[in-house]
Amino acid sequence: MAVSAGTIQHGATEHSESGLWSWLTTVDHKRIGILYCVSALVFFLVGGIEALLIRIQLAQPNGTFLDQDSYNRIFTMHGTTMIFLVIMPLSTGFINLLLPLMIGARDVAFPRLNAFSYWAFLFGGIFLNASFFTGGNIFEGELGAPDGGWFGYAPLTLNQYSPGDGINYWMLGLQILGIATMAGGFNFIVTTLNMRAPGMSLLRMPLFVWMALVTSFLMIFAMPIIAVALFQLTFDRIFDANFFNPAAGASPLLWQHMFWLFGHPEVYILILPAFGIVSEVLPVFSRKPLFGYPFVVFSGVAIGFMSWGVWAHHMYTVGLGSIANSAFGISTILIAVPTGVKIFNWMGTMWGGSISFKTPVMFCLGFITMFTIGGLTGVTHSMVPSDYQQQDTYYIVAHFHQVLFGGALFGLFAGVYYWFPKFTGRMLSETWGQVHFWLMFIGFNLTFQPMMILGLMGMPRRISSYPEDYGWDLWNMIATLGAFTIALGILVFLINFIMSIRNGEESGPDPWDGRTLEWSIPSPPPHYNFAKIPVVHSIDEFWHRKYVEDSKGIPVPVPKGAAIATGDHGDGHEEDEGHDIHMPAPSYMPLIAAAGLPIVAIGLLYAYPLIAVGAIVGLVGLYGWVLEPVGGD
């Protein structure tokens, strides 16, 4: 296997260690995945609190809870956090946890690059959030966070319109996060293309792996574009360049084109992993194979390609002309087709299945219903004339929360409930899971369906207050109550999560009667994953090891012992296995290399000599990395 390419260390003892140092130096994809998920959950609380502040401010007309300036900063950070620090890293966390297990590999292709991705992400996230305290004068009660919206439209974000350091933190923070994302994307693609277990052809890969692959390609092609846009903004803001300066003849639309050429693939980066999770969970709990596997695969690939041709639907009202608007309108309508195909496939999977409505399934059902509403509202503003009415109203806010919260986040929560036992060895409480789901589902609808109505009534987005007598009071109050209902649901989830890690019911290796390879090994998996690399014969390999079909096509369990001779079955695992498996040694070099990035960013903001310090720290990390006696990555 390729993972053995450069591994000389005797890993068996190294990885059983615990303690802070072992987490700082880990290169184990499962631990990195856990770090990603836990960090994303922490940022989720931060972004959620920002959402609640927004809703408190807007609960009643003429709100005075926040002043306009703070409001702008908080909604900017809410959007930026939820997209770059919650949904993306949570998806990346799942890919880290699951990709090697699902393809029968012992780790990702480049374990240390993987650790570098995580640390760069963490430093980028901390840097971005530090702006609250260091970007302005906090002692005079002034928040320093960026205030340009998550899309940061230049020229609005140039110095003359957005003075202060907030936008600087935003552009440099996103740059660091982009580097983390690209490194992750490269790693996942190489892992998927190169490290599949024998017999696992591309069309035998679990759907989640497919969606991770498409997502990774979008990452490596979309992030360079935003990187360039952010560099241009950086040169404008820090070195007085003219990329977005209309006075010098620059186009005020350049940023929008660059940003949305990145930004639209980005929304599929956010949603495709959730598509993958739902496609894994539904077959298991319907006790049926995924309906139309190749259609789900290729519609995901089609979405990946088409996502590059729809960006200007964010820009219908900027005056591109009717031909451009029509072309992008048509491409936007077309991209709904492969998305719709998937929804029908999920329904087909459940159709006639013996569905058990456990928490993961409930979140999948929430996902399908909410995402469908989100998708259909998306089709309404793919229509250019209709979009002219909806542009910059709460209808848009409702739409993208419907797809990103009702869609991506519900899907990710399904994944949390589904895979929690695999990585902790314990079950999350089913009862509290159901409570969490219903609170979140009801709260979600109370929050965002009123926004649809508000938007159609003409309430603009990004306003910090609104007058009485516009008829908006009731719906805004309901939306705020809904937001707190969601918060209550998240609180239930957190308590359940923390309690279950210690006291949850023991899950065993395969609590859900799973279909894919990760369920064939113990929970939590040993650091080397597979004592023996599995040989794959079909889609849903693990299911076919457990069941054969009788003459009527009904699955019958394989008699115990018959299929276990392969030795990699979870039940057959013994504690002393795996001592002769060489795994990559831990390394602190990725951490050092990543630490160079925020130092360079701080140097750009405050003292240029620090740029050199950061570059040296980064180079020391990189050289140490290359010269470490592991090779291979």
User: In whole angstroms, how close is the CB of 589 to other proteins at the nearest point?
Assistant: 15
Asked whether 125 and 119 are in contact (CB, 8 A), the reply is no
In single-letter form, the type of residue at position 507 comes to S
User: In whole angstroms, how close is the CB of 307 to other proteins at the nearest point?
Assistant: 14
Choose between 2 and 130: whose C-beta lies nearer to other proteins. Answer: 2
User: In whole angstroms, how close is the CB of 237 to other proteins at the nearest point?
Assistant: 12
Residue with tokens 């005075």: 64
Inter-CA distances, 108 with 6, 100, 194, 302, 441, Å? 13, 6, 10, 26, 35
User: In whole angstroms, how close is the CB of 580 to other proteins at the nearest point?
Assistant: 18
User: In whole angstroms, how close is the CB of 244 to other proteins at the nearest point?
Assistant: 10
Choose between 4 and 326: whose C-beta lies nearer to other proteins. Answer: 4
Inter-CA distances, 611 with 135, 236, 432, Å? 18, 18, 49
Give residue 96's Cα distance to chain centre: 11
SS3 for 462? coil
In which element (H, E) is residue 398 found?
A: helix 394-403
Choose between 264 and 342: whose C-beta lies nearer to other proteins. Answer: 264
SS3 for 548? strand
User: In whole angstroms, how close is the CB of 533 to other proteins at the nearest point?
Assistant: 11
Choose between 258 and 453: whose C-beta lies nearer to other proteins. Answer: 258
Asked whether 195 and 1 are in contact (CB, 8 A), the reply is yes
Choose between 171 and 343: whose C-beta lies nearer to other proteins. Answer: 171
Asked whether 474 and 495 are in contact (CB, 8 A), the reply is no
User: In whole angstroms, how close is the CB of 308 to other proteins at the nearest point?
Assistant: 10
Buried b (16+ CB within 10 A) or exposed e, 115-131: bbbbbbbbbbbebbbbb
Which tokens belong to 447?
A: 């929050």
Cβ neighbour number for residue 540 with a 10 Å cutoff: 20
The C-alpha atoms of residue 314 and residue 367 are separated, in whole angstroms, by: 24
Asked, as a colleague might, if the bond just before 155 is cis with ω within 30 of 0, I would say yes
User: In whole angstroms, how close is the CB of 264 to other proteins at the nearest point?
Assistant: 14
Choose between 186 and 484: whose C-beta lies nearer to other proteins. Answer: 186
User: In whole angstroms, how close is the CB of 544 to other proteins at the nearest point?
Assistant: 21
Beta bridge partners of 460: 393
Choose between 228 and 474: whose C-beta lies nearer to other proteins. Answer: 228
The C-alpha atoms of residue 612 and residue 614 are separated, in whole angstroms, by: 5
User: In whole angstroms, how close is the CB of 364 to other proteins at the nearest point?
Assistant: 31
The C-alpha atoms of residue 192 and residue 201 are separated, in whole angstroms, by: 10
The C-alpha atoms of residue 117 and residue 99 are separated, in whole angstroms, by: 16
User: In whole angstroms, how close is the CB of 239 to other proteins at the nearest point?
Assistant: 5
User: In whole angstroms, how close is the CB of 109 to other proteins at the nearest point?
Assistant: 4
Choose between 109 and 303: whose C-beta lies nearer to other proteins. Answer: 109
Choose between 368 and 597: whose C-beta lies nearer to other proteins. Answer: 597
Rama region for 521: left / alpha / beta (φ>0; ψ in -120 to 50; rest): beta
In which element (H, E) is residue 527 found?
A: none
Choose between 266 and 387: whose C-beta lies nearer to other proteins. Answer: 266
Cβ neighbour number for residue 463 with a 10 Å cutoff: 12
Long-range contacts of 155-158 (CB under 8 A, 24+ apart): 155/244, 155/245, 155/246, 155/250, 155/252, 155/255, 157/233, 157/237, 157/255, 158/236, 158/237, 158/244, 158/245
Asked whether 94 and 277 are in contact (CB, 8 A), the reply is yes
Choose between 202 and 491: whose C-beta lies nearer to other proteins. Answer: 202
The C-alpha atoms of residue 50 and residue 145 are separated, in whole angstroms, by: 12
User: In whole angstroms, how close is the CB of 35 to other proteins at the nearest point?
Assistant: 22
Q: What does the DSSP 8-state code read for residue 157? A: T
The C-alpha atoms of residue 576 and residue 521 are separated, in whole angstroms, by: 14
Which tokens belong to 549?
A: 């079909």
Choose between 2 and 456: whose C-beta lies nearer to other proteins. Answer: 2
Choose between 46 and 227: whose C-beta lies nearer to other proteins. Answer: 227
Binding stretches for other proteins (CB under 8 A):
1-2, 4-5, 109-110, 182, 185-187, 189-190, 193-196, 220-221, 223-225, 227-229, 231-232, 235, 239-243, 247-251, 254, 258, 623, 627, 632-633
